[in-house]
Structure 1
Amino acid sequence: MNIQDNLAAINGRILQACQRADRDPNEVRLVAVSKTKPAAMIEEAAAVGQHLFGESYAQEFSAKFDQLGTAVDWHFIGGLQTNKVKYLRGKVSLIHSVDRLSLAREINRQWAKVDQVANILIQLNLGAEASKSGAGEAELEQLLRQVAELPNLHIRGLMALPPYLDDPEEVRPYFRQLRQLSEAMKARQIPGIELQELSMGMSHDFEVAIEEGATLVRVGSAIFGTRS
Structure 2
Amino acid sequence: MPIDKRGPVFHDTAIIDEGASIGGGSRVWHWVHVCAGAVIGEDCSLGQNVFVANRVVLGDRVKVQNNVSIYDNVTIEDEVFCGPSMVFTNVINPRAAVERKDEYRDTIVKRGASLGANCTIVCGVTIGQYALVGAGAVVTKDVPAFALMAGVPAKRIGWVSRSGEILGEDLVCPREGHRYRQVGENILEEITDDGSDCSN
TM-score between both structures, scaled by the size of structure 1: 0.22
Structure with higher RCO (Cα < 8 A, 6+ apart): 1
Q: Per residue, is there more strand in 1 or in 2?
A: 2
TM-score between both structures, scaled by the size of structure 2: 0.24
Please identify the structure whose Cα radius of gyration is greater.
2
